[in-house]
Amino acid sequence: MGEGAWLVIFLIVQRLAELGFAQWNTVRLRAEGGVEFGAAHYPLMVALHTFWLLGLWLLGHDRSVDPFWLTVFILLQAGRLWVIATLGRRWTTRVIALPCVAPVARGPYRWLRHPNYLVVVAEIAVVPLVLGLPLFALVFSLANAGLLATRIRVENQALAWAQTEQGRSALTPATLANETPRR
């Protein structure tokens, strides 16, 4: 097994652990009255990340790793952990807003509105570069950019909705996300 295989295996295990943590948080947030926004685009995000991992395995499992890009990747993992630790029980792979609850404003959120997406954007480009796959990095970065444009718009709308008082505001999850909200 090549160095690339170990990197991709690490990513798969990491993502599966994160999905478990996210699912646990999703269930708890919904039980607390959380409302999901953007559920319609969530399967596309899952598909993008699945095909990214599958492509990395197929094209990169037998490749060596570039030490410079591997170092960048390791630094990104520190950013990923910082984001997850900062959001804690509010971190999920879905967009779930708690009514009348202020957004997190500590950790990396003091300086950036969406630091998690910055890490994800960088990872989608950097991991293929670790494996010497620049065209793969470009293709998935462009696909991710298109999807993140929708995702960030939805998340901003969810954050705005969460700042309103339900019943007093004209903003509703359905009008903001143009879909039926899920609890």
CATH number of 3-166: 1.20.120
C-alpha to C-alpha distance for 56 and 40, rounded to whole angstroms:
26
Residue 102 has pLDDT above 90, yes or no: no
C-alpha to C-alpha distance for 105 and 46, rounded to whole angstroms:
27
Percent of the chain with pLDDT over 90: 82
Stated pTM of the model: 0.87
Q: Where do the structural domains in the chain lie, given as residue ranges?
A: 3-166
- Do residues 25 and 90 touch, judged by C-beta distance below 8 A? yes
Express each pLDDT in 28-68 by its tens digit.
999 999 999 999 999 999 999 999 999 999 999 999 999 99
C-alpha to C-alpha distance for 157 and 137, rounded to whole angstroms:
29
C-alpha to C-alpha distance for 28 and 96, rounded to whole angstroms:
11
- Calculate the CA 82 to chain-centre distance: 13
Average confidence score pLDDT of the chain: 90
